[in-house]
Amino acid sequence: MSDTFTLNRRSFLALASASFAALAVPSLPAFAASDPTSRPKELRIGYQKAASTLVLLKAHGTLEKRLAPLGIAVKWTEFPAGPQLLEGLNVGAIDFGYVGEAPPVIAQAAGANFVYTAYEIPTPHAEGILVPQNSPIKSVADLKGKKIALNRGSDVHWFVVAALEKAGVQYADVHPVFLPPADARAAFESGSIDAWAVWDPFLEAAKRQTQARLLTDAEGIASHHQFFLSARPYAEKYGDVLAVVIDEVGREGAWVRGHYSEAAAQLAPIQGLDASVIETGLRHYAHIYKPVDATVLAEQQRIADAFVNLRIIPAKIVTKDAVLVAKG
């Protein structure tokens, strides 16, 4: 696609439609064209260092090239994890971001004004529960009464709940220790916790560098979807801008799938990990993105209902409320 755009309403409509066509998925009716006379001056994106596709998109600068002819600058803000990123979205610090499956549920329950924009197809091998190599813990059922480190409100929070449920262990019968990855790694190495639930590339790094043993990944337990979310006011006004973003994300994902080693080499100095660790982690993700549909929203609803029952969130929510409804 040309880097030069004709700035009129018809061009914006064509752009929004073509962007999703490039992903071989139906275009979203909510992604309407914005008024060219009131285009935004910037798009503020929140990302995590572990979110490889967005990190590479930032490094390659292709989104900036797509939006520059429209007079739209791109501002990137790094967050340590999904819950903090969604806090930024909720207070109006960013317009768009990428998180796991549990943070949107937590944020919606807290009243965050966002909408689901797209999702990554399941990546269950990209998260797991680790135990020390010589630990007597041999199964998830053995975690009863044990200390499990996890990042509160992150995707592994749901993974732990679901894994325990499948093993017949009550969430109340374990001792969650809420720590971000860096602190959890230190606690794991010191022996002050019994297990650690974490995602890639931290998962693969810990397996190699600490000789940790993988108790289980999320296969058969949780889908481990990843989501692109947008601030609702931005999505309502500038759907065509978001269509460009999703198009570029899709192109970046396709590039990663064909260039795992090169992508890992580029990410190594950014993520501070060995390229071989990063490449293994990259292969655990799908890098394929689709518009949010009823099936994935139903899975999010299952998480929300479980979190209500466990009092992780205070009241019932309806996940489909966090989707734009087509007007007209």
One domain, residues 163 and 249: no
pLDDT value of position 50: 83
Domain membership of residue 294 (yes or no) is: yes
Q: Can you give the CATH number for the domain in which 302 is found? A: 3.40.190.10
Residue after which a domain boundary falls, among 176, 193, 217: 217
Strands of the sheet with 42-48, listed across from one edge? 73-79, 42-48, 96-100, 226-231, 114-120, 289-290
pLDDT value of position 35: 56
One domain, residues 73 and 98: yes
Beta-bridge partner residues of 79 = 48
Domain membership of residue 2 (yes or no) is: no
pLDDT value of position 25: 33
Domain membership of residue 3 (yes or no) is: no
One domain, residues 117 and 243: yes
One domain, residues 156 and 281: no
One domain, residues 263 and 209: no
Phi, psi dihedrals of residue 125, rounded to the nearest 5°: -85, 0
One domain, residues 200 and 233: no
Residue after which a domain boundary falls, among 192, 217, 242: 217
One domain, residues 267 and 236: yes
The torsion defined by the Cα of 168, 170, 175 and 177, in degrees rounded to 10, comes to 90
One domain, residues 187 and 249: no
| Exposure string over 130-166, b if 16+ CB within 10 A, otherwise e | bbbeebebeebebbeebebbbbbbbbbbbbbbbbbee
Domain span at 185: 124-217
Domain membership of residue 141 (yes or no) is: yes
pLDDT value of position 71: 94
Domain membership of residue 64 (yes or no) is: yes
One domain, residues 89 and 159: no
Domain membership of residue 48 (yes or no) is: yes
Amino acid identity of residue 149, one-letter, is: A
Domain membership of residue 148 (yes or no) is: yes
One domain, residues 232 and 104: yes
Q: Please tell me the pTM assigned to this model.
A: 0.85
Tokens of 91: 């207070």
pLDDT value of position 327: 60
One domain, residues 117 and 239: yes
Q: How many residues does the chain have?
A: 328
Tokens of 90: 């909720």
Domain count, the chain: 2
The low-confidence residues of the chain, meaning pLDDT below 50, are 1-33, 328
Q: What percent of the chain has pLDDT over 70?
A: 88
Domain membership of residue 328 (yes or no) is: no
Can you say how many angstroms the Cα of residue 221 is from the centroid of all Cα atoms in its chain?
A: 18
One domain, residues 91 and 152: no
Residue after which a domain boundary falls, among 217, 243, 273: 217
